Structure 1
């Protein structure tokens, strides 16, 4: 298939329209839920542990359950992502809504669990739904987006709404603190509210039409494709014989052709999630080191993501994915490395908390900004997974990317608390070096995809253009 007779060219070349935003907003509620729940636990973790008889985050039991309550949703991703990545071959719309239902059920069970083991089980169920959503939602947004705005729609729908969910979490907890709620009630209400967002979009997701690329390439339902084009453009459009030949080779051959790019996306998502979740999961540890209430540090970090969201919206489809991500990784790494110097210099001082207060605030905030400007709006929103994978294998390609990212989350979940308790400045050096590695890989290996339709990207990566 040449770009000259690309049947999706009409959809690629249109300007952003209201239906693009509707798709993005309905898809974004899954990521909003992810940001809300994972950030909520980071803020209320001391209250959760106190309710089950654990008084210190740094005690062996505190470290153990801090790790496992964060890790179990991630293990759910390892089930949900590949399962729904495979099922997406049977229809993007067919299973859209089931992911949100699993999220809602898992979140709703959390407040009622009588022990930490069952609380972890509820979070595992929620993680299955989140894993499914991380495959289906970016795939659907990418397959209906126009070429010129696909980057910003993915960035806002995932990177942006993750942080809006984190802000909602901090605000919810802050309101209850101000109102004088007891700690046991605060964490139960805060985690339980996480069921509201996904439950609210189950019906909407079931009503969305199938994506035009799935209809034409996988289902071979050209009438459904024509109806989609008619509904959007108001014109009839027929697909000529032979224009889809690029997608007609066997799936195993497509995997062999594109595996290096799919694997590169997965590796970069792994690299990003190590520092990103080091900050998100363990905000309570960081806040305690400067004698600050975790909810205030969480709100501050969320505020610093707003400039990053704005920069991503402005730059991704102009400056390009590679530049935004590469410089975002680099600036994040430098921020962590500089901050590690302050921690090393002042951590042994009798008034270390006071001396480190301002450097911690500035470094925590700037790291959030640079992350969101770059990798948090590219690889972490699934852009590499959905853009580097042809339509026939896009679900599985995205699932591999999601698993890569969640592997990074597991690494930071198990490594960061141990490093932080043993030597906090070493923990920040670790996060900084990982970020710099991400910058090097991005600048040297990532192909630029701005302004290209998905089929044009596939041709470019295959060398057949």
Structure 2
């Protein structure tokens, strides 16, 4: 776009303040990933301590082991995801209506409060309630942090910077694995789960102040608010200036024009995120309980109760097993970071979906089942486990990263957080459905059929990517989003 007023920002080299914004934006995603894995550890701690150690935790165990166990397990696992949907839609709307800065920091506060109070829950309904508060914060973090990073980024490094915000998920997954295994080894089960829950408050708390101090983005300041001086101040934060008179603004008239112009793209970004999160959260939240019967459990098969030391050791091993796929996925995030601005978002997303489909198909084909139970494999179980774990690498070097990056680039400034919020909420709808239904699906149709279903969905994800997702690589935000700029007289 020849008259783009943000050429100075677009052509900048990477600065320290870019990195500062990355850290400020990224800590919410550290907590998001920590929460995804830690809730599976908390559920495993509740149920396994009763089953193998004979410990009943008043107010918790009776819900998770009684006749309505599947209902309460599904609700506990999905409560934060359900409210994240609301957070994504609400904060997405407010980020465009009131400005990015106006709401930035509120979501980190909700994350901190929800995680901290979760550690002090007195029964399962209270734990579900406090995790629901945390979920609102998690949801709000998606559209605001992604958009702030995209609107401050230079063109050459924009994909890398937005992906780096999201890659804090990798660090959060490893932290959850470490905290979960250490807590299970060191503390009694009734204390261990509280430590696991409470630690999630720390990273979000470190950025609340920083988020309140981030200036409004230059693009929102100029194109939506029409505040030329605020836009110049924001550009100065990066060490540059904007090239525009005070009368440049967004030409997007209203939500009706937005939906009519961007509906195909919305189908692409929302549809692919929906499919991705079905796979990512379904296999992720229940990694410990789902993988143990497939690849072997460290717990004894006999019903005799273990001593505390024996139980702590076996629980730590079981939790570590559930975290292994996340360790395999860890380098996938940073492979995406390194290659997004070279290979492009669309290619990386499509190849990730295709690789996932192949892996799920292979794993399901080598399973030997009796009814719904896996009783063996046609190849070595270790090899089957390695192949399955590779799906996490291609999830992260693929749609898990790109579905976050692309919506922050392909929508106009006036509706950028709205477009991202709708896309992210669509993903969390898929996550909520699969998280809530996964215990029932494992019991009803078994892991083999679930893998076949995920393979088919991954193929659909690749098809949606090719058909509806544009390529924003090395384009200015205005070009990537087809932004209409108007100069009023």
Using structure 2 for the length normalisation, give the TM-score.
Answer: 0.87
Tell me the CA shift for residue 442 of structure 1.
1.1
Query: SS where residue 344 of structure 1 aligns?
Result: strand
Query: SS where residue 209 of structure 1 aligns?
Result: coil
Tell me the CA shift for residue 55 of structure 1.
8.3
2:385 to 326, 339, 361: 361
Equivalent residue for 1:239?
A: 244
Q: Deviations over 1:9-33 (max 9, x none)?
A: 2211222222111111111111111
Equivalent residue for 2:407?
A: 385
Q: Distance in 1 between matches of 2:67 and 2:380?
A: 26
Once the two structures are overlaid, the 10-residue window that deviates more, 214-223 or 306-315, is 306-315
Tell me the CA shift for residue 238 of structure 1.
4.0
Q: Does 1:45 align with 2:43?
A: yes
Q: Distance in 1 between matches of 2:68 and 2:318?
A: 20
Q: Does 1:282 align with 2:259?
A: no
Q: Distance in 1 between matches of 2:208 and 2:236?
A: 26
Question: Which 5+ residue runs of structure 2 have no aligned equivalent?
Answer: 51-56, 299-316
Tell me the CA shift for residue 303 of structure 1.
2.0
Tell me the CA shift for residue 287 of structure 1.
2.9
Counterparts of residues 152-167 of structure 1 (less than 5 Å): 152-158=160-166, 160-167=167-174
Q: Deviations over 1:276-324 (max 9, x none)?
A: 0112111122232121543212432222123312321222111111110
Tell me the CA shift for residue 53 of structure 1.
5.7
CA contact (8 A) 1:98 1:129 kept: yes
Query: SS where residue 4 of structure 1 aligns?
Result: coil
Q: Does 1:189 align with 2:187?
A: no
Q: Distance in 2 between matches of 1:418 and 1:356?
A: 28
Q: Measured at CA, do residues 119 and 446 of structure 1 come closer, stay the same or move farther in structure 2, by a change above 3 Å?
A: same
Equivalent residue for 2:438?
A: 416
Q: Deviations over 1:132-159 (max 9, x none)?
A: 111211111111111121112122211x
Q: Distance in 2 between matches of 1:219 and 1:29?
A: 28
Using structure 1 for the length normalisation, give the TM-score.
Answer: 0.91
CA contact (8 A) 2:251 2:483 kept: no
Query: SS where residue 377 of structure 1 aligns?
Result: helix
Equivalent residue for 1:272?
A: 276
2:114 to 106, 110, 126: 106
Equivalent residue for 1:333?
A: 357
1:61 to 56, 59, 68: 68
Q: Distance in 1 between matches of 2:14 and 2:459?
A: 34
Q: Distance in 2 between matches of 1:138 and 1:215?
A: 17
Equivalent residue for 1:7?
A: 5
Query: SS where residue 459 of structure 1 aligns?
Result: coil
Runs of 4+ in 1 over 6 A off after TM superposition: 55-59, 346-351, 353-356
Q: Distance in 1 between matches of 2:130 and 2:377?
A: 36
CA contact (8 A) 1:291 1:353 kept: no
Equivalent residue for 1:295?
A: 319
Tell me the CA shift for residue 436 of structure 1.
1.5
Q: Measured at CA, do residues 137 and 152 of structure 1 come closer, stay the same or move farther in structure 2, by a change above 3 Å?
A: same
Counterparts of residues 306-455 of structure 1 (less than 5 Å): 306-344=330-368, 352=376, 357-379=381-403, 381=404, 383-422=405-444, 423-455=446-478
Q: Measured at CA, do residues 104 and 350 of structure 1 come closer, stay the same or move farther in structure 2, by a change above 3 Å?
A: closer
Equivalent residue for 1:458?
A: 481
Q: Distance in 2 between matches of 1:354 and 1:421?
A: 22
Q: Measured at CA, do residues 46 and 60 of structure 1 come closer, stay the same or move farther in structure 2, by a change above 3 Å?
A: farther
CA contact (8 A) 1:5 1:243 kept: no
Q: Does 1:262 align with 2:266?
A: yes
Q: Distance in 2 between matches of 1:23 and 1:298?
A: 32
Q: Deviations over 1:20-73 (max 9, x none)?
A: 111111111111111111210112312234435648979753322221012111
The number of equivalent residue pairs is: 454
CA contact (8 A) 2:83 2:139 kept: yes
Q: Measured at CA, do residues 360 and 183 of structure 1 come closer, stay the same or move farther in structure 2, by a change above 3 Å?
A: farther
Q: Distance in 2 between matches of 1:374 and 1:168?
A: 22
Q: Measured at CA, do residues 267 and 55 of structure 1 come closer, stay the same or move farther in structure 2, by a change above 3 Å?
A: same
Once the two structures are overlaid, the 10-residue window that deviates more, 264-273 or 48-57, is 48-57
2:222 to 213, 216, 224: 216
Q: Distance in 1 between matches of 2:135 and 2:423?
A: 16
CA contact (8 A) 2:413 2:483 kept: no
Aligned-CA RMSD value:
2.5
Q: Deviations over 1:64-87 (max 9, x none)?
A: 222101211122113222221222
Q: Deviations over 1:74-115 (max 9, x none)?
A: 221132222212221212111111111111111111122221
Structure with the largest fraction of helix: 1
Q: Does 1:228 align with 2:234?
A: yes
Q: Measured at CA, do residues 407 and 309 of structure 1 come closer, stay the same or move farther in structure 2, by a change above 3 Å?
A: same
